[in-house]
A and B are shown apart, each in its own frame.
Chain A
Amino acid sequence: MSSVAPSPPQPSPAGGGGSDTPSPAQRGGGGTAANGTRAAAREGGSHAAKPLLAVENLVKHYPVRRGLILARQVGTVRAVDGVSFTLNRGETLALVGESGCGKSTTARLVLRLIEPSAGRVAIEGEDITSLSGAALRRLRRRAQIIFQDPYASLNPRLSVGDAIAEPMVVHGIGDAAARAARVRELLGLVGLAPYHADRYPHEFSGGQRQRIGIARALAVQPELVVCDEPVSALDVSIQAQVVNLLKELQLRFGLAYLFIAHDLAVVKHMADRVAVMYLGRIVEIAEKRALFAAPRHPYTRALLAAIPHPDPSRRGQVTPLGGDVPSPMAIPPGCRFHTRCPHAAELCRTQEPPALEIGPGHLAACHFAATLPPVAAAPGGGLSSLAAKRLALFAAGRPAA
C-alpha cells in the first residue's frame, strides 16, 4: 500500500493523474475474480465509458415552517448539500457517516423516492430528475433498493411469494406462471426454499426476511441496487451470512451497489470505493484501500479511530472526538467539521474547503488534507495465530457452502 508521505499538495486537475494506470489499491488484488475487470472498467473515469450512475451537486433542503395558518419558514434543514459521485457497473460504492449526515437521503434521491432541490442524477448519462410516467418506471426497473429493517419493509398481509412477485406485476413482466417460476428461482438464489413462497413474513427470522427483501429487489433484474443499511439490524452471525450473499449475487449478476452503512468494518469488507459524508457533504472519497490505509480528512480519521477493535491488547489508545454533530439546520460556516476538528485553524472557520485531489480518485475536502501528518500505524494485528488456526478448522469442518 502506498503510504502517504507529507509531501506538498499536488494541484493537478481532477482526472489528470492516474486515469491510465490502475492505482496500487486496485492492483492489490481484491481477491475476487471480477475485481480486475471491474477495476479496468472503472479506470476510464469521466473520459471513457459512462458510469452507470453519476450524481452531480445533488441538494435536498427541507424548509422548516412554524405556525399553523400563516406558516412562515423559520429555517432550512440542509440534509444533502451538494453531493457528487459516480458509480460504475459491478462496483460497490459505500456511503458512510453518522446519523444525520445525509447518506440515506442521498440514497432516496438517487432512486427519486424523494425529489431533489437541485442537482443532477444520471443513469448512463440520462438525467432522471425530470423523468415521469413510463420513463420513470423504466428507471425503477433498473434501480432497486434493499432497506435496513426487514420487519418494516415487508407487507405482513402478503405472502412471501406475492411480495417477491409484486415488482414483476408492477412492471408487467411475465404471466402468472412465469412469475411463480421466477419466484422459486429467486428464493433459491437467496438461500430459501420454494415452499417459503406460501408463508408470511412473521414466520421468518430477521436474516430470512432480509433475504426476502433481497429476492424482491432482484426480481426485476436491476443493474443498480441501493442497499440502505442492509445488515445493521441483524445479529453478527446472520449479518455475515447476508454480507456473503450480497457479494455472491454481485459477482453473479454484475450488480452495482450503492451501499449505505455506518459500520466501517462492514464497509471495508463490501466496498470498492468509499465516500465519507458529514453534514450533507462528502468530505472524503477514495478507493477502499487508500481510504483505510491513508485517510486524509480528519473526520475520516476520527471515525476510523472510534471503532472498537476486537483486540483487548489495544484498548483505550484513542482520544475520542469531542462534541456532537451540529444540527443540519445550523451548519457551521467555513468547513462544516471545524467545530470538532483537532486541526482546525482560522481559515477553516471562514472558508469552505474545496475537494483536494490527494491521489488518483482520492479527494478530501480539507484545507490541510495534503499536509496533515500521516496517521499512526493501522490498529490491530488481526486475529491471534491460535484463533486463526481454529477459525480455519471451523471453515474447513463444515459442509461446503
Chain B
Amino acid sequence: MQAPLLAIDGLRTVFRTSSGEVAAVDGVSLAVPRGRTLGIVGESGCGKSMLSLSVMRLVPRPGRVAAGSVRLEGRDLLTLSPAEMRSVRGGQVAMIFQEPMTSLNPVHTIGDQIIEAMQAHEAGGRDLRDRAIEALRRVRIPAPERRLDEYPHQLSGGMRQRVMIAMALACRPKLLIADEPTTALDVTVQAQILDLLRELQAETGMSIILITHDLGVVAEMADEVAVMYAGRVVEQATARALFEDPQHPYTLGLLGSIPRLDEERDRLLAIEGAVPPPFALPPGCRFAPRCPFSITECTAAMPPLRELAEGHGAACIRAPVEQAVAA
C-alpha cells in the first residue's frame, strides 16, 4: 500500500487552564491517503477543529501540541522551524474555513487578496493578475476579470467561499483542510461547492481533510471517515463501511439523531445528555455515561481503537453491540 500523504500519530493538544491541563485532542492517529478525502465528523467540542489547527500549527494560546507527530510525506511538521512551517502553510497545505466573510479582508479587493496569497510563496511576477484571474476561473466564478476588482461584501456567500477556495488552491497544495466549508451556506449553494471540491480534487489529485458535523456531507464527500468524540477518534472506517456497518454506539447515536428523507420515524433517537467538557471527562470510555450499552468494565479503562474488520476500527469493548447484548 502506498504511503499516506499525511500521517498523524499519537497527537495530543493541551490547554493550560486554572484547573490544570486539559487535552482538546487526546491521542489521535490518522492517515490521509493521496488524492483521497478523509472526513472527520463529530459535534461541537469533539476536538475536530483543534485537530486541524494542530496539523497547521495554528493552535491558539494557551494551547500547545504536547505529544505526537504530524508527518507530511515523511517530514514531521511539528519539528519544523516557524519559517519552514510558514512555507508549508498555504504552500503544501492550505485551509478553508466555515465563514468566508470573516476570513476575507473587507477593505481589499478579491484580486489583491489572491495576489497576496501567491506572493507570500514566490517572487512576484507581472503575470500575477492573469494568474489570479485564472485562479477564479478554476473555481467557476463567472466574469473573473470583473470580479477581481470587487470587494468581499459585493459577493454572495457561495461566491466568497469560491474565492477562499481559489486562494487556498493558488499554490497547488497537496492537502486541503476544509473546516465546515459549507455549514454557513444554503443547501443549493452547498451542493455547488461540494461538487466543485470534488472536481478540483479530480483535477489536481490533492488530498482533502473535510471537517464537518453533517453526516450527509461526509457520505457525499469522504472516502475514509473518522468519528471523534471528546478529543478521541472513536470509530474509523471507509465511508461505506461506516454507514452500512456502524459499530461505535456514538456513531449509532449520531445516525439515529438525524432525520432522514428516505425514512419515517416518530421519534428521533436522541443521545441523552451532552458532550462532557475536556476538564470534566468521565473515567474510562468517555461516551459511557451516555451509552445504553455501557457496563462497569467500560468505566475502568479507556478502550483503544480495536480492528473489527479490515480497515474498520472502533474504540468500544462492546462492539459489535448485538453480540454484546446477546451474551
Contact surface of A with B, Cβ cutoff 8 Å: 31-32, 98-99, 205-207, 235-241, 243-244, 247, 262-266, 268-269, 292, 302-313, 315-316, 318, 320-322, 324-325, 378-384, 386-387, 389-391, 393-398, 401
Contact = CB atoms under 8 A, between A and B. Distances in A.
| Top-7 shortest CB links A-B | A397-B292, A380-B262, A308-B216, A320-B191, A398-B292, A240-B270, A98-B186
Contacts of B219: 308-312, 315
Nearest to A247: B267
Given A98-B186, A307-B216, A379 B252 contact: no
- Which of the listed residues A237, A387, A394 has the most CB atoms from chain B within 10 Å of its own CB? A237
B259 A266 contact: yes
Nearest to A32: B266
A315 to B, nearest CB: 5
Contacts of B245: 384, 386-387
A99 B101 CA distance: 16
A243 B259 contact: yes
24 contacts: A99-B157, A99-B186, A235-B44, A236-B213, A237-B254, A241-B272, A243-B270, A244-B268, A247-B267, A262-B186, A262-B187, A263-B187, A264-B261, A269-B259, A269-B265, A306-B190, A309-B261, A320-B188, A320-B192, A380-B263, A383-B260, A394-B269, A395-B292, A398-B272
B90 interface: no
- Which of the listed residues B186, B246, B275 has the most CB atoms from chain A within 10 Å of its own CB? B186
Interface string B170-202: 000000000000000011111110110010000
B191 A237 contact: no
Given A99-B186, A394-B249, A395-B269, 11 more contacts: A237-B254, A237-B257, A263-B187, A269-B265, A307-B216, A309-B219, A311-B243, A316-B195, A387-B245, A391-B269, A395-B292
A312 B191 CA distance: 15
B217 interface: yes
Contacts of B266: 31-32
B8 interface: no
Nearest to B247: A390
Contacts of B222: 312
Contact of A324 (B159, B187, B249): B159
A313 B240 contact: yes
B244 interface: yes
B3 interface: no
Contacts of A397: 292-293, 325
Chain B contact-residue range equals 35 or more
A309 B271 contact: no
Contact of A237 (B186, B188, B216, B253): B253
Interface in B231-259: 239-240, 243-246, 249, 252-259
Given A236-B254, A308-B216, A324 B240 contact: no
B322 interface: yes
A83 B179 CA distance: 38
A266 B258 CA distance: 8
A240 B252 contact: no
B191 A310 contact: no
A239 B257 contact: yes
Contact of B262 (A262, A312, A324, A379): A379
A292 B264 CA distance: 12
B255 to A, nearest CB: 6
B321 interface: yes
B215 interface: yes
Contact of B252 (A263, A321, A394): A394
Interface string B262-286: 1111111111101100000000000
Contacts of B271: 237, 240-241
A315 B220 contact: yes
Given A237-B253, A382-B262, A397-B292, A387 B270 contact: no
B262 A318 contact: no
A108 B258 CA distance: 28
B249 to A, nearest CB: 6
A255 B247 CA distance: 39
A268 B261 contact: yes
Interface in B262-317: 262-272, 274-275, 292-293
A265 B259 contact: yes
B204 to A, nearest CB: 18
B167 to A, nearest CB: 20
A223 to B, nearest CB: 24
B227 to A, nearest CB: 12
Nearest to B320: A390
B156 interface: yes
B214 interface: yes
Nearest to A398: B292
Contacts of A268: 259, 261, 264
Contact of B258 (A32, A98, A236, A315): A236
- Which of the listed residues A292, A305, A310, A383 has the most CB atoms from chain B within 10 Å of its own CB? A310
B256 A240 contact: yes
Nearest to B240: A312
B43 interface: yes
Contacts of B152: none
